[in-house]
Amino acid sequence: MAKQISEFYWKKRLLIVSYEKEDDQIFIITKKFISEKKCEIDDRNLEIIFYENFENKDYFKPEFINNKYGIWLIGYDGKIKDYSLDGKIFLKLFDLIDSMPIRKDEMNNDKC
């Protein structure tokens, strides 16, 4: 049974990736980012959830996707912190997360 992404609130930061099909640039760029930055992603307690053509068998579609493609950064509080239609979000993603108040406390335990 599908779950709500709200189950992650106050436990994980989320990166929601909505794309049409697996050969879309947004999907390819995200997969490359994940493979190159796994330690940094894990260190920032970031969960990445993909929606192909607005569907994910494990999670209900969040309302904010609203038939849009792109990448959303969701904070611990469940609020959208950033959105990008393409991979440009990855240029500033870690800086944005590192500027968040809770992250400042977490940074004492950096593993990467």
Mean local confidence (pLDDT), 103-109: 80
Residue 83 has pLDDT above 80, yes or no: yes
Mean local confidence (pLDDT), 20-29: 94
Question: Helix-strand-coil percent breakdown of the chain, rounded to 5?
Answer: 40, 25, 35
| Degrees, nearest 5: CA angle 76-78-102 | 20
pLDDT at 107: 81
One-letter identity of residue 22: E
pLDDT at 9: 94
Task: Tell me if residue 84 falls in helix, strand or coil.
Answer: strand
Question: For residue 7, how far is the Cα from the chain centroid?
Answer: 14
Domains of the chain: 5-107 (3.40.30.10)
Tell me if 13 sits within 8 A of 97, measured CB to CB.
yes
Mean local confidence (pLDDT), 69-81: 96
Mean pLDDT across the chain: 93
